[in-house]
A = this chain, B = another copy of it.
Amino acid sequence: MNMPVAQTRSAKARRTALETASRLFYHQGAHAVGMEAIVAESGIAKTTIYRHFPTKDDLIAAFLEEENRDFWSQWDAAVAQGRTPEGELASLCRWIGDKVDTEGYRGCPQINMAAEFADRQHPARIVARRHKKEMLERLVEICRRCNASTPEIAAHQIALLFDGAFSSDGRLEGLQAGSVLADAVTRLVEP
């Protein structure tokens, strides 16, 4: 191989640092987590972290990028379980319902970071915007196959519903989030 020396060791340090940072950022908020905390929790030296991520903002953006990848991978898995477009939506609702009912769930990382950083040009905001745009596009495509009368509108409505589920703080419900979502989505794609 003509790859740089110590590629695996370097990649491992990067991955460990990013994983730790992601966990802390998500559960405590980006502003509430100092770099020293990431060092202490990950065991990776601060120098090393800054060698892989020039600034804290880059680290935050990388966190959202990874979240984004994981999100679509789970989304695709959910969609794959549907035999019809309507089934795909139902499966997505079930997935989201389970997701938000998970212990320790603290909302959509993209939305949370967007709330923390006011500057729309912040790297994290750019990732978040792309994420939400892609969700809308994917929903439009599914709604089209559902023969919804106005797929763009239906998709938009479903996106609002999903975002609401992702952000809703309360979890005071005795209701099953998944079925509540599925029922709403069914009504929204009806002609």
Contact = CB atoms under 8 A, between A and B. Distances in A.
Interface of A: 27-29, 31-32, 106-107, 110-112, 114-118, 125, 128-129, 132-133, 136, 152-153, 156-157, 159-170, 172-173, 175, 180-181, 183-184, 187-188, 190
B27 A118 contact: yes
Contacts of A115: 29, 107, 111-112, 115-116, 167
A27 B187 CA distance: 36
Given A111-B115, A164-B162, A190-B187, A156 B129 contact: no
Nearest to A111: B167
Q: Which of A132, A159, A160 gathers the greatest number of chain B CB atoms within 10 Å? A: A160
Nearest to A160: B164
Given A157-B183, A164-B163, A188-B184, A116 B31 contact: yes
B188 A132 contact: no
A172 B133 contact: yes
A175 B153 contact: yes
B106 A29 contact: no
Q: Which of A27, A32, A118, A164 gathers the greatest number of chain B CB atoms within 10 Å? A: A164
